[in-house]
A and B are shown apart, each in its own frame.
Chain A
Amino acid sequence: MGIILLLLPLLFSLFLFGIKGKTAKTIALLGSLITLGFNLFLLSIWKQDGAYDFYENYTWINDLGINFCIGVDGLTMVMLLLTNILTPIIILSSFNNTEKPYQHTFYALILLMQFGLNGVFMSLDGILFYMFWEITLIPIWFICAIWGGENRIKVTLKFFIYTFFGSLFMLLGLIYLYLHTPDHSFNYNSLYAAQLDGSGMLFVYSSFFLAFAIKMPIFPFHTWQPDTYTTSPTQGTMLLSGIMLKMGIYGVMRWMMPMAPEAWAQIGNWFVIVSIIGIIYASLIAIRQNNIKRLFAYSSIAHVGMIGAGLFTLQADAWQGATIQMLAHGINIVGLFYVADIIEKRLKTNDLTAMGGIAKVAPKLAVLFMIIMLGSVAVPLTNGFPGEFLLLKGIFSFHPIAGAIAGTSIILCAVYMLRVYQLSMFGETNENTKNFTDVSILEFTVLSILAVMVLIIGFYPNLIFDISATSVSNILMHSITQ
């Protein structure tokens, strides 16, 4: 049954490659909505017992023990929801971009992304996972390289090579694991059962880390990110920051930590330390940014650093927090980049110092931006809070000093986010902003959906924990050595 979740976006994508004209975007939206509908249907019939449901296993390359094996547990379900809720929103957000050439290709690539992402989250076979992992890179690279802004070729090439370079290490790790499996299979359970010695674990652990750390990205493997986020077309940035970077976090939870639990004792502390340095580092840089997109890019590095730090502590609270924070961060960052896009389209600039007084002329935008910003600042009763709260709790329980240092990011986040809000929305209008038009119905719809999700998840986060909690505990149990 789960395979339909892969086939739907794939078929729509292939179909879109074939057709031309203005209907492409409507078909794309329809396709993504049908996928979302199917995902919700799966949720409704899904057995919430922490085990894999919708499990399918087809022989693929028998000699090498590679199977087409997919399944859905609680963590996967949350990731699928993230992907399939955000994709239609991202498609909808592009409806105003009528001037884009090759529209059908653009939407075909987005749906191809959706296919790849759903695949990444459902794969239970190492090679299948790797294959989907790389599949997602292709459409996103085309999206950024074709429809991006200045310097797009140079920037996207760096992004491509950098992330590809990381993925190869993951492949090495997978093969190494495979060679040590008792039944020579790439199946998740076989890989998990692989018999490794200390240095072997360390190798697998580090090579996975490299792949995932580059993808997320966490400090100091992040330098491709601000340029890529700034240069890509907004939808590309939304896909990258909203969903794709969660592949890295998901990878840490599903593939890295449980595969080599003993390595954690050797170097786990260092990963926590590096992640925390990254939080502070990115936050401080964000404070000094005047380019609104670049600022959001650095804020994303800080938030993701917090998730990374939480995961590497192996604390139950942090892992639960990380799960909900992935969803929350996806919603918030998509919203923030959309706001940046709305402003940029009207003002033709990303420079904060050229803005001001927008709240006066565009009150609707001001309110919706405020809600999404508060989500990002993790004010209680918004979606950012439960995740950040649990992550900090986990890091604090791991080491109080680490928790206190990571905690300063909630202050720094308020500093840079309120600065953005003040410089753009408050103050008197100037020459640039005095004719700023408020959000259109389309923009209002997109931002409202996001804002409502910010509040619902913030008010009742148990909605998500009901789905994910048991599975996440199970995975965490495998990640801790007895």
Chain B
Amino acid sequence: MEQIIFLIPLLPFIGFLINGMLGKKLPKTIVGIIATTMVFVPFVLSLILFNNLSHDKTVFFQHLFTWIKFGGTEINFSFQVDALSAMMMLIITGIGTLIHIYSIGYMHDDEGFYKFFAYLNLFIFSMLLLVMGSNFIVLFFGWEGVGLCSYLLIGFWYKNVEYGKAARKAFIMNRIGDLGLLLGVFLIWNQFGSLEYQKVFELAATTGGSTTLTIATLCLFIGAMGKSAQIPLYTWLPDAMAGPTPVSALIHAATMVTAGIYMIVRCNVLFDACPDTQHFIAIIGIATSLFAAIIGLRQNDIKKVLAYSTVSQLGLLFLSLGVGAYTSAMFHLMTHAFFKALLFLAAGSVLHGLHHEQDIRKMGGLKKLMPITYWTFLIGTLAICGFPLFSGFFSKDEILADVFKESPILWALALISATMTCFYMLRLFLLTFHGTYRGTEEQKHHIHESPALITIPLIILAILSVVGGVFNLPPFMGESISHGLKHMLIPILGEHTEKTLPYALQAILAGSTALALIIAYLYSKNKYIAKAEVPVIDQQQTGALKLIANKFYVDEIYDRVFVKPIEWCGEIFHKTVETKWIDGIVNGTGTLINKGSNIFRWLQNGNIEYYLLGMTVGMVLIFLFKLLF
């Protein structure tokens, strides 16, 4: 079984090479089929591997080659597939396949069609490396690789300068995180003498926590902040919406941004040993979740709302990790991948129908015009809002319940965040699909439902968004079918005896989220459905509302505090330190020698009398010197 592992990342890489080098000459259909096959086959292979995991065989290894070897140091290029990586692999290749199919329809008229698929395949390759690596180095390969693909795909429409800037911002912010991760890896390497997960975690389990380990885990978390868009490194994600919508769905919602979650779950042994780090993660998580949700309330770009929603949901995931609820985090990661990919793709379908109009104030009444998109988007909205029995209901409730066990205050804050989710999602949904269309008749005439290549992936994801909860049902749904995911992840997370809440309390907690959804619905219904026009408050730009609409001016603050001073330093170094000081000294030395040599040249004038005079004076001086001392 182990022998097939390398094929899983290799195939998308081959797809990247084929489409990258020959794609320009191939017909679009072929390009699309090659790229999709190179993701679908790995999906099947992952499924096979996943099915072969059992109690006796919890992990498969494959050693490919020695990457670096000198002295006592040896770093291997090797893979490991256990339940955690298999789960990620299935999400990546599964949703990846759907998004590839979708993209064939969505990107059909783009001149860079082949390039797009080459990049997508490269992304899948990198993401698979990230989750399949058996050590921190292979993880890091994938980690930076996905950042690079994200850069390439955000700036895919490179002629637009703003998009290019967004791409750069994403790469640089990710690099800040990457440095954190790298330093964390160094600390772990020095502490445990190895980078292989198995060795490190075995040792860590015996040695327990220490200050070094706390710093190391904090560094790792900085890496996660960058990749998974947490405060303070989140501002690249909303800008990343410049990329084509399938990219937003695949990279900036379902897979890449969850890399930080994966990494922390992978290193759960380390993080469990460092409660201080865990508290920090929980605080950052809830703060990000609330902050992004507030901003999301006031955005008018359909993709931006979803982007802030992603940041907010990722915050919840980190909160969950911070309280040690790894299973719940992975569960919500999976359901979130389903419904957020769905929402983005459905939004893409809207954009496709509306010729890339992204402002929801100019939409409305699309329900009749785009029925499949409407229904799938509705399902996605209900799932993210936690409508009972939809996937998000189970996964979000599990996080909330786990948080409640640790701290009721954090629970209350998380509930507020979840409530805001309902508000901005309903606002988005109702403004887009209900009411009447707010564009011109001419525009309305052109609106059409998207082709099957686009709608079929939507339908599949919609089904998953509804039933995704079955993977980890709560115990009160029946002991025998419950907690599938939890049992699956035991080899990675270990057996924990958790506090269990009484059913009554669980029901109250679940009820509270349902209640939030009802309140949000009642509020939004009056405000958005009943009226044809966009409510006045959504147009206002004063005071706190303006502050929120402008995203609290965080970008501007970063510019003033970091970017400008750095540029100023560069300027000063160049204009003053370099030219005037350092080179001044160098050139000054040159001039001095030049001047000095003039004196000597005056002495060496070739006139023999001068030399004789000099000799005589010298002799007299030596004589006097001897005489006097």
Q: Which residues of A contact B (CB under 8 A)?
A: 158, 161-162, 220, 223-224, 281, 284-289, 316-317, 320, 357, 359-360, 374, 379-381, 386, 389-390, 392-393, 396-397, 400, 403-404, 407-408, 410-411, 414-415, 418-419, 422, 425-428, 460-462, 465-466, 469-470, 472-473
Could you tell me the distance between the alpha carbons of A400 and B569 in the complex, rounded to whole angstroms? 24
Could you tell me the distance between the alpha carbons of A26 and B577 in the complex, rounded to whole angstroms? 46
Contacts of A220 in B (CB 8 A): 582
Q: Is B566 an interface residue (CB 8 A)?
A: yes
Contacts of B57 in A (CB 8 A): none
Contacts of A470 in B (CB 8 A): 70
Could you tell me the distance between the alpha carbons of A472 and B70 in the complex, rounded to whole angstroms? 10
Q: Is B161 an interface residue (CB 8 A)?
A: yes
Could you tell me the distance between the alpha carbons of A389 and B578 in the complex, rounded to whole angstroms? 29
Contact indicator per residue, chain B 567-584, by CB within 8 Å of chain A (1) or not (0): 101110110011000110
Contact A381 B159 (CB under 8 A): no
Contact B145 A285 (CB under 8 A): no
Min C-beta distance of B586 to chain A, whole Å: 5
Could you tell me the distance between the alpha carbons of A8 and B67 in the complex, rounded to whole angstroms? 35
Q: Is B189 an interface residue (CB 8 A)?
A: yes
Could you tell me the distance between the alpha carbons of A396 and B180 in the complex, rounded to whole angstroms? 12
- Assuming the A-B contacts A287-B567, A460-B67, A469-B71, are A393 and B573 also in contact, with contact meaning beta carbons closer than 8 angstroms in the complex? no
Q: Is B182 an interface residue (CB 8 A)?
A: yes
Contacts of A415 in B (CB 8 A): 172
Query: Considering only CB atoms, which chain B residue lies closest to A397 in the complex?
Result: B190
Q: Is B558 an interface residue (CB 8 A)?
A: no
Q: Is B102 an interface residue (CB 8 A)?
A: no
Contacts of A460 in B (CB 8 A): 65, 67
Closest 5 CB pairs of A and B: A469-B70, A288-B570, A284-B570, A223-B583, A380-B141
Contact indicator per residue, chain B 543-575, by CB within 8 Å of chain A (1) or not (0): 000000000000000000000001101110110
Contact A392 B182 (CB under 8 A): yes
Could you tell me the distance between the alpha carbons of A473 and B570 in the complex, rounded to whole angstroms? 38
Contact of A422 among B168, B190, B569, B573 (CB under 8 A): B168
> Could you show 7 A-B contacts with beta carbons less than 8 Å apart?
A380-B141, A392-B182, A410-B182, A411-B175, A411-B176, A428-B161, A462-B68
Contact A284 B573 (CB under 8 A): yes
Contact B178 A410 (CB under 8 A): yes
* Residue among A360, A380, A408, A462 facing the most chain B CB atoms (10 A cut-off): A380
Contacts of B189 in A (CB 8 A): 393
Query: Considering only CB atoms, which chain A residue lies closest to B72 in the complex?
Result: A316
- A-B pair number, CB within 8 angstroms: 129
Contacts of B375 in A (CB 8 A): none
Could you tell me the distance between the alpha carbons of A425 and B179 in the complex, rounded to whole angstroms? 27
Contacts of B590 in A (CB 8 A): 158, 161
Contacts of B67 in A (CB 8 A): 386, 460-462
* Residue among B155, B160, B176, B583 facing the most chain A CB atoms (10 A cut-off): B583
Min C-beta distance of A326 to chain B, whole Å: 15
Contact B158 A427 (CB under 8 A): yes
Could you tell me the distance between the alpha carbons of A386 and B69 in the complex, rounded to whole angstroms? 11
Query: Considering only CB atoms, which chain B residue lies closest to A409 in the complex?
Result: B179
Q: B residues 304-323 with Cβ under 8 Å of A?
A: none
Q: B residues 49-78 with Cβ under 8 Å of A?
A: 65-71, 73
Query: Considering only CB atoms, which chain A residue lies closest to B161 in the complex?
Result: A427
Contacts of A359 in B (CB 8 A): 158
Chain B, interface SS category: helix
Contacts of B175 in A (CB 8 A): 410-411, 414
Could you tell me the distance between the alpha carbons of A285 and B567 in the complex, rounded to whole angstroms? 8
Contacts of A469 in B (CB 8 A): 69-71
Chain A, interface SS category: helix
* Residue among B155, B161, B165 facing the most chain A CB atoms (10 A cut-off): B161
Contact A396 B570 (CB under 8 A): no
- Assuming the A-B contacts A403-B183, A427-B159, are A316 and B172 also in contact, with contact meaning beta carbons closer than 8 angstroms in the complex? no
Min C-beta distance of B72 to chain A, whole Å: 9
Contact B578 A223 (CB under 8 A): yes
Per the CB 8 Å criterion, the residue count for chain B at the interface is: 48
Contacts of A400 in B (CB 8 A): 183, 187
Contacts of A419 in B (CB 8 A): 168
Contact of A320 among B70, B145, B176, B566 (CB under 8 A): B70
Contacts of B65 in A (CB 8 A): 460, 462
Could you tell me the distance between the alpha carbons of A461 and B67 in the complex, rounded to whole angstroms? 6
Query: Considering only CB atoms, which chain B residue lies closest to A466 in the complex?
Result: B69
Could you tell me the distance between the alpha carbons of A403 and B189 in the complex, rounded to whole angstroms? 14
Min C-beta distance of B235 to chain A, whole Å: 15
Query: Considering only CB atoms, which chain B residue lies closest to A286 in the complex?
Result: B570
Contact A411 B179 (CB under 8 A): yes
Could you tell me the distance between the alpha carbons of A408 and B590 in the complex, rounded to whole angstroms? 35
Min C-beta distance of B566 to chain A, whole Å: 7
Contacts of B141 in A (CB 8 A): 380-381
Contact B161 A403 (CB under 8 A): no
Q: Is B514 an interface residue (CB 8 A)?
A: no
Contact B73 A426 (CB under 8 A): no
Could you tell me the distance between the alpha carbons of A319 and B160 in the complex, rounded to whole angstroms? 43
Contact indicator per residue, chain B 489-510, by CB within 8 Å of chain A (1) or not (0): 0000000000000000000000
Contacts of A404 in B (CB 8 A): 179, 183
Min C-beta distance of B534 to chain A, whole Å: 34
Q: Is B148 an interface residue (CB 8 A)?
A: yes
- Assuming the A-B contacts A392-B182, A407-B183, A415-B172, are A386 and B571 also in contact, with contact meaning beta carbons closer than 8 angstroms in the complex? no
Min C-beta distance of A171 to chain B, whole Å: 18
- Assuming the A-B contacts A422-B168, A462-B67, are A284 and B566 also in contact, with contact meaning beta carbons closer than 8 angstroms in the complex? yes
Q: B residues 413-471 with Cβ under 8 Å of A?
A: none
Could you tell me the distance between the alpha carbons of A422 and B169 in the complex, rounded to whole angstroms? 12
Query: Considering only CB atoms, which chain A residue lies closest to B65 in the complex?
Result: A460
Min C-beta distance of B148 to chain A, whole Å: 6
12 further A-B contacts with Cβ under 8 Å, apart from A284-B569, A473-B71, are A158-B590, A285-B570, A320-B71, A320-B73, A386-B67, A397-B186, A400-B187, A403-B186, A411-B175, A414-B171, A427-B161, A465-B68
- Assuming the A-B contacts A223-B583, A426-B155, A426-B164, are A317 and B140 also in contact, with contact meaning beta carbons closer than 8 angstroms in the complex? no
Contacts of A287 in B (CB 8 A): 566-567, 570
Contacts of A281 in B (CB 8 A): 573, 577
Could you tell me the distance between the alpha carbons of A224 and B148 in the complex, rounded to whole angstroms? 35
Could you tell me the distance between the alpha carbons of A67 and B577 in the complex, rounded to whole angstroms? 45
Contact of B186 among A161, A320, A393 (CB under 8 A): A393
Could you tell me the distance between the alpha carbons of A320 and B73 in the complex, rounded to whole angstroms? 11
Contacts of B165 in A (CB 8 A): 422
Min C-beta distance of B437 to chain A, whole Å: 33
Q: Is B272 an interface residue (CB 8 A)?
A: no
* Residue among B151, B172, B586 facing the most chain A CB atoms (10 A cut-off): B586
Contacts of A161 in B (CB 8 A): 590
Contacts of B172 in A (CB 8 A): 411, 414-415, 418
- Assuming the A-B contacts A397-B186, A418-B171, are A426 and B573 also in contact, with contact meaning beta carbons closer than 8 angstroms in the complex? no
Could you tell me the distance between the alpha carbons of A477 and B583 in the complex, rounded to whole angstroms? 37
Query: Considering only CB atoms, which chain B residue lies closest to A413 in the complex?
Result: B175
Q: B residues 295-347 with Cβ under 8 Å of A?
A: none
Contact indicator per residue, chain B 174-217, by CB within 8 Å of chain A (1) or not (0): 01101100110011011000000000000000000000000000
Could you tell me the distance between the alpha carbons of A193 and B209 in the complex, rounded to whole angstroms? 47
- Assuming the A-B contacts A223-B578, A288-B571, A428-B159, are A408 and B179 also in contact, with contact meaning beta carbons closer than 8 angstroms in the complex? yes
Contacts of B573 in A (CB 8 A): 281, 284-285
